[in-house]
A = this chain, B = another copy of it.
């Protein structure tokens, strides 16, 4: 398949679409990002890299970090994890407390904020130095040492963390958070602040396209079964309350972040990361989703 030609064409067609969404403005550090940026990177299991546009510029991965922390916890915890967080789509916005109350503090899935906080809470109990461990993990799977927390973004998130503090304390009131809530929010704000390029991001998801094995270090991150399951979770829950629509239109497991990044995989084939900061009303990158929908149509391959 000539991915280069397909990517170039999509890039040319989608690039004029600036102006259809809005940059995340819930924290100042994200709001000041230049909206007119757009990059694509495809990495294939046979080692190709196809990049276009701003694919080597760093951006804040935000919620995409939830996939890394979940993989880190799934490595070390068995099905016991699923007593603390569910595996069902939420049907609600990413930061809702309603469902949490009806379901006694057990979040619907690991990709809504409440569920990601539970995962990070478990990670803090499993790893001695959680922030360093997260950075180590991401660098390993992305095969790049040039990955850092963005301290300004992390600080800005902490200054606007009322909703996440509410989620943390609410779950703690149900006994579903083990660690100190302030420390939890600190780790969480840092994981969200990680900056990567499209190229790094596409590489970092290759272990999920590669049945659990990191192709750069040749070590197993997750068993085949857990790797498949994490992919299933991304398909059903990876795009907030637009997950069903994304599965319908794109048909690839993936994850988005409010920094404008989107990453998705086709198991056994490839990983693709797109970045463009303007978000649709569900908080997903407008041009990112547009790019993926065209990509899956043009290559004629989806998991369905």
Question: A interface vs B, CB < 8 Å?
Answer: 86-92, 96-102, 108-109, 162-163, 165-170, 172-173, 181, 225, 227-229, 231-233, 235-237, 241-245, 247-249, 251, 253, 267, 297, 302-304
If A169-B169, A232-B304, A304-B228 touch, does A97 touch B98 (CB 8 Å cutoff)?
Answer: yes
Kindly provide the distance from the CB of A108 to the nearest chain B CB, expressed in whole angstroms.
7
Which residues from B are CB-within-8-Å of A98? 97-98, 101-102
**Other-chain contact of A172, B88, B162, B243 (Cβ < 8 Å):** B162
Kindly provide the distance from the CB of A293 to the nearest chain B CB, expressed in whole angstroms.
11
**Other-chain contact of A96, B101, B167, B181 (Cβ < 8 Å):** B101
Which residues from B are CB-within-8-Å of A241? 88
Known: A166-B172, A229-B248, A231-B304; 11 extra A-B contacts, CB below 8 A, are: A88-B91, A88-B245, A89-B244, A90-B91, A91-B108, A97-B100, A166-B168, A169-B169, A228-B251, A232-B304, A235-B247
**Other-chain contact of A89, B88, B181, B302 (Cβ < 8 Å):** B88
